């Protein structure tokens, strides 16, 4: 591993040096969700209950963490009334939650980094779960007691691609500011979009079955590295593309009732149609066109099982290539921008266990636009 780290130091590329995560206290066990969910929302519609039961099985999710709980609902009964203007209260609850989770994830990351927080030069903050100014970057910087001179960048409403977008921004900052150390934090909650289901809007049950809450943090920097820093992953090249005329496929609207989301059923098909060219373009730019796709590691944001299945099929990947993405989906659900960090943690864990050593891979996410975000990366463990 030493030679790989020395090589990373000679490239001048940004590296991930540490990672952390955090979750709210409410753990949702998917096997018991249906009865508890309909009890909490005081709904007796058997058809909707049957639909949620089907969705819970098809998502492959086993556990998730959520901010919403019985106490919040009992103290805020208006959240269960579709016509009530609840956005102000939802934002109040959500913003307190994302600040707390981001702080906890950042502290876990800093503990792994084992260097003082005073050495952080830049903060990148990502969230689609707040609408305020100053934004969550300010409250996180204060909670961590970062220097007032820390340079902040806040990225909002990028949805599921936000984590890779944040990594791309942090990479650029690290490589263009010698000696810098970048803290990236992402934090998300589904509280803004929580709604009791109804027959005209049965789609809302997808959120109840698939999405989770949480936060993640990543510490990045480029060489030289100071003890006890040990680079985990080198971020070599990045790419972003926007698919023309697809802005309606992932649709989110903030209103007086909260956030309303709609994912078109065609989303996996759009991703399938473009993912091969996108990935091969990244490899070509890196001079790695000859690499076998099954020889790479794959960190793909698990937007849902249909997306992972389409990516796997289109690229001809062996089942184990997306194991980390499927594991993250199983354990945390689709936690929006945070999830890619959970996937990367699992990949590095698996590579350590298998004693695989350094190797190339791709980090991918798909968000509103439709936007593709990608990073050609090299594992150093």
Closest to 123 (Cα-Cα) out of 169, 179, 189: 169
Q: Is residue 56 flagged as an active site residue?
A: no
CA distances from 55 to 236, 263, 304 (A): 38, 15, 11
135 forms beta bridges with: none
**Residue tagged active-site, from 15, 56, 160, 279:** 160
Q: Are 127 and 98 in contact (CB under 8 A)?
A: yes
DSSP states of 201-216: GTTHHHHHHHB--EEE
Q: What angle do CA 298, 193, 80 make, to 5 degrees?
A: 145
DSSP states of 31-69: GGHHHHHHHHTT---HHHHHHHHHHHHHT---EEEES--
Helical segments of the chain, H only: 2-11, 33-40, 46-58, 70-75, 87-113, 136-143, 162-176, 204-210, 267-285, 305-315, 323-332, 339-354
Task: Enter the tokens of residue 232.
Answer: 């985990």
Q: Is 278 helix (H, G, I), strand (E, B) or coil?
A: helix
Please state, in angstroms and rounded to a whole number, the distance separating the CA atoms of residues 158 and 246.
Answer: 15
CB atoms within 10 A of CB 277: 11
Would you name the residues annotated as active-site residues? 160
């Amino acid at each position: 591993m030493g030679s790989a780290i020395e090589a990373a130091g000679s490239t001048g590329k940004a590296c991930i040096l540490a990672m952390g995560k955090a979750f709210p206290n409410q753990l949702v066990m998917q096997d018991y969700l249906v009865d508890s969910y309909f009890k909490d929302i005081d709904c007796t519609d058997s058809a909707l209950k049957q639909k949620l039961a089907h969705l819970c099985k098809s998502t492959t999710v086993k556990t998730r963490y959520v901010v919403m709980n019985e106490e919040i609902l009992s103290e805020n009964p208006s959240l269960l009334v579709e016509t009530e203007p609840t956005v102000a209260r939802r934002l109040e609850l959500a913003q307190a939650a994302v600040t707390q989770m981001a702080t906890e994830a950042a502290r876990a990351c800093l503990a792994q980094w084992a260097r003082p927080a005073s050495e952080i030069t830049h903060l990148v903050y990502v969230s689609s779960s707040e609408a305020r100014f100053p934004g969550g970057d300010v409250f996180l910087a204060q909670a961590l007691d970062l220097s007032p001179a820390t340079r902040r960048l806040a990225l909002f409403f990028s949805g599921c691609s936000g984590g890779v977008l944040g990594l791309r921004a942090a990479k650029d900052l690290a490589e263009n500011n010698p000696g810098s150390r970048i803290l990236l934090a992402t934090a998300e909650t589904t509280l803004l979009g929580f709604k009791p289901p109804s027959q005209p809007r049965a789609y809302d049950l997808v959120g109840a079955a698939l999405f989770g809450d949480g936060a993640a943090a990543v510490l990045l920097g480029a060489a030289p590295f100071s003890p006890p820093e040990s680079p985990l992953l080198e971020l070599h090249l990045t790419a972003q593309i926007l698919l023309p005329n697809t802005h309606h496929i992932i649709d989110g609207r903030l209103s007086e009732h909260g956030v309303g989301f709609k994912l078109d059923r065609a989303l996996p098909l759009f991703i399938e149609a473009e993912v091969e060219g996108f990935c091969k373009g990244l490899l070509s730019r890196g001079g790695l066109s000859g690499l076998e796709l099954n020889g790479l590691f794959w960190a793909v944001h698990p937007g849902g099982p249909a997306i992972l299945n389409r990516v796997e099929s289109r690229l001809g990947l062996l089942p184990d290539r997306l194991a980390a993405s499927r594991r993250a989906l199983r354990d945390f659900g689709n936690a929006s921008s945070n999830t890619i960090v959970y996937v990367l943690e699992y990949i590095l864990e698996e590579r350590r266990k298998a004693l695989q050593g350094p190797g190339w891979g791709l980090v991918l996410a798909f968000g509103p636009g439709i936007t593709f975000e990608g990073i050609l990366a090299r594992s150093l463990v």
